[in-house]
Structure 1
Amino acid sequence: MSDDRRHVQEFFAARAADWDSRFPDDGPAYAAAVAELGLRPGDRVLDAGCGTGRALPPLRTAVGPSGLVVGVDLTPAMLATAVRAGRDREGRLLLADVSALPLRSASLDAVFAAGLVSHLPHPARNLRELARVVRPGGRLALFHPIGRAALAARNGRQITPDDLRAESVLRPLLAGSGWRMTSYVDRDDRFLSLAVRENPGQPAASPGHR
């Protein structure tokens, strides 16, 4: 295991048991963000870096009983907490790294990722892997229940210019990884960037043709 992966595992393993109790009021924010994905009954969706599975219930509601919900996380302790909370009933949980997903190419309609981007050791490569498993025209939601400034204040730090979630950084990062950003919101009570999977066989649209 790489040092980056080990650091992420150790960080979340130490916090898994009380993760949900630390953030007890995030449920409506997760549900609202899932609604922005525009999922339909029967769709196939991945919760990338699913943690304790807080997005799994609204994802299941959105795709219905005929849809597929898969939650992937690198940290066994987080998945164990999801199981204890009964969220494994809402979707299939897999212990896996987003850098090498055990999923077929173009097999999904959408990816939901809460709090993931800042923990990616190789953001461009990892976002390309998410793009690989999504069909052309499929969707990606990068979400956090609070915005960048509020999160930085919570952690006692300042936002830096190279913050991966800054629109000026994230938009070209997505574009170089097979995605086209379609919306961006960063306010105290929500961070949400939506993107569409580009058709790999088509040239990317120029800035004047978004």
Structure 2
Amino acid sequence: MSDDRTHVQEFFTARAAGWDAKFAGDGPAYAAAVAALELCPGDRVLDAGCGTGRALPPLRAAVGPSGTVLGADLTPAMLRAAVRAGRDLDGRLLLADVRALPLRGASLDAVFAAGLVSHLGDPSGGLRELARAVRPGGRLALFHPVGRAALAVRQGRLLTPDDLRAEPNLRPLLAGSGWRMTSYADEDGRFLALAVRER
């Protein structure tokens, strides 16, 4: 396992047990971001880097009983927390690196990814792998329940121009990875970038 994956696992393993309690008020923001994906009943959707599975219930509600909901995460402790919360009832959980998904090409209609990009050691490679798994015309939502400035304050750091999620950086990153950004919102109450899989 590469160093960046080990670091991510260690970071989230230490926080898994208290994760949901710490961010208990994020549910409405998750639901609104899932709604922005405009999923249809029967769609196949992946929550990439699903953590404790907070997006799985709104994803299941959006695709209905005929749809497929998958949650993939690298950290076993986060997936165990998802099971304890009963979110495995809304989607199938996979212990997997989103940079090497155990999925056929073009097998998904959409990907939801909360807080994922900044934890990828190779963001371009991760986004390319998500593009591989999504059909042409499929959709991607990169989400965080607070905007970049609010997150920087929360983490006690300065917001710098080289921030990966800044629009001038994210747009070409997506474009070079098989995605076309269709909308971008960076507000105190949410970060949400939507993209479409290029044909």
TM-score over 0.5 for the pair? yes
Q: Which has the larger radius of gyration?
A: 1
The alpha carbon displacement at 1:161 in A equals 1.3
Match of 1:39 in 2: 39
Identity over aligned pairs, percent: 81
1:207 corresponding residue in structure 2: none
- In structure 1, the residue corresponding to 2:10 is in which secondary structure? helix
Counterpart-to-counterpart distance in 2, 1:40 and 1:27: 21
Describe the SS at the equivalent of 1:25. Answer: helix
Task: Provide runs of 4+ in structure 1 moved above 6 Å.
Answer: none
- Opposite residue 13 of structure 2, the aligned amino acid is A
TM-superposed deviation, 1:171: 0.1
2:104: which partner in 1?
A: 104
TM-superposition CA deviations, 1:145-166 (whole Å, max 9, x none): 0000000000110011111100
What is the aligned partner in structure 2 of residue 128 from structure 1? Answer: 128
Letter in 1 for 2:45: V
In the alignment, the residues of structure 2 paired with residue 105 and residue 165 of structure 1 have an alpha-carbon distance, to the nearest angstrom, of: 26
Consecutive unaligned residues in structure 1, runs of 5 or more: 200-210
CA distance in 2: counterparts of 1:2 and 1:123, whole angstroms: 14
Deviations 1:115-165 (A, max 9, x none): 001001001111000000000000000000000000000011001111110
Match of 1:184 in 2: 184
Q: CA-to-partner distance for each residue in 1:33-75, whole Å, 9 max, x for gaps?
A: 0000000000000000000000000000000000000000000
Alpha-carbon distance between aligned partners in 1 of 2:50 and 2:126, rounded to the nearest angstrom: 15
Alignment of 1:9-158 (within 5 A): 9-158=9-158
Contiguous gaps of at least 5 residues in structure 2: none
TM-score normalized by the length of structure 2: 1.00
> Per-residue displacement from partner, 1:94-128 (whole Å, max 9, x unpaired)?
00001100000000000000000100100111100
- Could you state the TM-score of these two structures normalised by the residue count of structure 1? 0.94
In structure 2, C-alpha distance between the alignment counterparts of 1:37 and 1:56, rounded to whole Å: 13
What's the counterpart of residue 8 of structure 2? 8
Question: Aligned partner of 1:146: which letter?
Answer: V
Alpha-carbon distance in 1 for matches of 2:85, 2:187: 30
CA deviations 1:154-190 (Å, max 9, x no partner) are: 0110011111100000000000000000000001001
State the alpha-carbon separation in 1 of the partners of residues 36 and 63 from structure 2: 13
Distance 2:124 2:66 in 1: 32
Counterpart secondary structure, 1:170: helix
Provide the secondary structure at the position in 1 that maps to 2:25.
coil
Q: In the alignment, what sits opposite 2:166?
A: 166
- C-alpha RMSD of the superposition: 0.3
